[in-house]
Structure 1
Amino acid sequence: MKLHKAERHQVKLRIGLSSPSGFGKTYSSLLLAYGITNDWSKIAVIDTENKSASLYSHLGDFNILSLEESFSPERYIQAIKLCEDSDMEVIIIDSISHEWQGKGGCLEIHELLGGRFQDWSKVTPRHNSFIDSIIQSKCHIITTSRRKVDYSLDKDGDGKTKVMKLGTKEITREGLEYELTVNFELLNDKHLASASKDRTGLFMDKPEFIINSNTGKKLINWCNQGKSVEKIKQEINSCDSLEGLKQIYTEHPTLSTELYPIIMLRKEILENASAQLIDNNEIIQNINIQANEFSIK
């Protein structure tokens, strides 16, 4: 346990867009992605919405990965990994609702296991792995999700039970919003949006607006402030001592998960180099000893 100075690092964006069908989630996410990367060829859409992203192919030469049934967490993870390995900069997951409520999604997996409360112990780790693949991705991630009307049963003053409309609710497991940089809700078919969660301070408590490429530019400018993670990785790869590696690691505790595997790889290289140097010195010493013995004889 140790106190450390607060330090701002460059981050990868985690953005959510949600709305009922027909409010423009796919179109808005594409404009947002283009504003972030300024290169259509570096954008990939994981499309679970019956190839709806193809309707906007006129915007630019972005990439599409059509994800058919079943919508298990593992298939989403595999799709994200494929996009990462293809050097995409922005991945749009359109939508994540199928991972939760679609054919082969978490709710169906739970039902097939028996639908008991204890069966969630087998489903939750699989869903959490999907969320981790979003949080830990090296790419900027935009997720879209459907919304449905949410109700509750309440009693009125006469004691009668009444169905009360609470508004709309995202079709996914609760909790993802806490991991997002910004969470936008599209409010109507005019594509007006507002931010329900905003770590950037760019959109919270601001008037409703229409998402476009400038929205993405604002976000990428915000996330590029601070010390570059890539620069820290370069420092690790050029470090020539174990003590130096330890110092770099302790200086950036908020990046410990991301930096740990790189630190360990560099540590192994330095240890192997040190062991090789010791072996070489021993060989040289043996040669010198043998040479001295030969000269004596």
Structure 2
Amino acid sequence: MEVKRAKRQKVKAAVAYIGASGSGKTLGMLLTAYGMMREKYPDMNDQEIWEKIGVVDTEHERATLYADMTIQGESIGQFLHVNLTAPFSADRYQEAINVLKQEDAEVVIIDSLSHAWENEGGFLDLQQKFGGNFQAWAKVKPEIQKFVKSITANDVHILASMRTKQDYQVEESDTGKLRIRKMGLKPIQKDDLEYEFMTVFQIDQDHYAAATKDNSTMFEGQMEKITPDHGSKLYQWLEEGIDVKQMEEESRQSMIHSLREKATEDEAIEKDIQELEGKAEQSLDDMEMRLLKRVEKIISEKQSA
């Protein structure tokens, strides 16, 4: 087990938006996604930016109502859209994400995750099929883990909503009249799912969002409507770290260059490399770092013998 110094890495977003019906979760996610892609592609026109955004829609295609609309001064374009119907299994969610990835979506909005809990094919449904008792959850757990991985360990940015169980409160308005206010309570999903996200926005019925969890610390203590600026800031934070994949590729290319130089200077080494490429059925250019290190070790051992 190796101990290394922790280094900040580039990561993909995993952000949750929690609120009652009508709180503005879908709009908030669309605006965040637009801000992220506008930050990444400042030279693209708006429609090209919207084509980088995909929505997995479990809400009877309601997300499409926002297309080509101007809301809060922001124009929403024609984003990519997948209508996800029952069964709402972990595999079906991942399938929908994959379809959008194939269309080059870089931000995937899932609206919503709640169907994977209580609707047909969801975890409660699965638990009943496995016997409906406490022991049945052990059989459901692998599906839940698969579902969580789709959201938090994907290679695209994921913005996901969760509906809340609703309650109503009677309160007095500024004019002295009584009004009924819709209140959002517990998210409709497994109890600790929100802890899997890097940032969680709780949105009230006036469309104001508060970050109840925020690894970036950028949104702590704020109570405001979500705008593309949230996405812009989020993307900048995600990009601050070291690009590990790029560093690994640079190291790989450096090793290939070193081996090629040795082969140019020594015919015996060139012959050894050709022989090793034949055994691996790969050229140096296609080898993973693991194989390149093995080739380098073999060459070094022959040189020192």
* TM-score normalised by length of structure 1: 0.74
| Structure 1 residue 214: Cα displacement | 0.7
Q: Structure 1: how far apart are the matches of 2:151 and 2:24?
A: 22
Q: Which moved more, 1:45-54 or 1:223-232?
A: 223-232
Q: Structure 2: how far apart are the matches of 1:109 and 1:35?
A: 37
> 2:282 — aligned with what?
none
Q: Structure 2: how far apart are the matches of 1:34 and 1:233?
A: 30
> 1:8 — aligned with what?
8
- Change in Cα spacing, 1:123 to 1:36, as seen in structure 2 (3 Å) is same
> 2:107 — aligned with what?
90
- Change in Cα spacing, 1:236 to 1:109, as seen in structure 2 (3 Å) is farther
Where do 1:173-212 residues align within 5 Å? 173-188=190-205, 190-206=206-222, 208-212=223-227
> 1:214 — aligned with what?
229
> What secondary structure does 1:142 align onto?
strand
Gaps of 5+ in 2: 39-48, 69-75, 168-182, 257-286
The amino acid across from 1:227 in the alignment is: I
The amino acid across from 1:83 in the alignment is: L
* TM-score normalised by length of structure 2: 0.72
| Structure 1 residue 199: Cα displacement | 0.5
Q: 2:146 aligns with which of 129, 138, 163?
A: 129
Please state which structure has a larger fraction of its residues in helix: 1
Q: Aligned residues: percent identity?
A: 36
Where do 1:143-182 residues align within 5 Å? 143-149=160-166, 168-182=185-199
> What secondary structure does 2:4 align onto?
coil
- Change in Cα spacing, 1:117 to 1:239, as seen in structure 2 (3 Å) is farther
Q: Structure 1: how far apart are the matches of 2:13 and 2:187?
A: 20
The amino acid across from 2:34 in the alignment is: Y
RMSD, aligned α-carbons:
2.4
| Contact persistence 1:84–1:138 (CA under 8 A) | no
Q: Structure 1: how far apart are the matches of 2:158 and 2:251?
A: 26
Deviations 1:84-134 (A, max 9, x none): 233211000000000111111110111122101111111110111011122
| Structure 1 residue 226: Cα displacement | 2.1
Q: Structure 2: how far apart are the matches of 1:88 and 1:273?
A: 39
| Contact persistence 2:80–2:105 (CA under 8 A) | no
- Point out 4+ residue stretches in structure 1 off by more than 4 angstroms: 269-275
> What secondary structure does 2:190 align onto?
coil
Deviations 1:255-274 (A, max 9, x none): xxxxxxxxx94324665899
> 2:238 — aligned with what?
223
- The answer to whether residue 64 in structure 2 is matched with residue 54 in structure 1 is yes
| Paired residue total | 239
- Change in Cα spacing, 1:239 to 1:267, as seen in structure 2 (3 Å) is farther
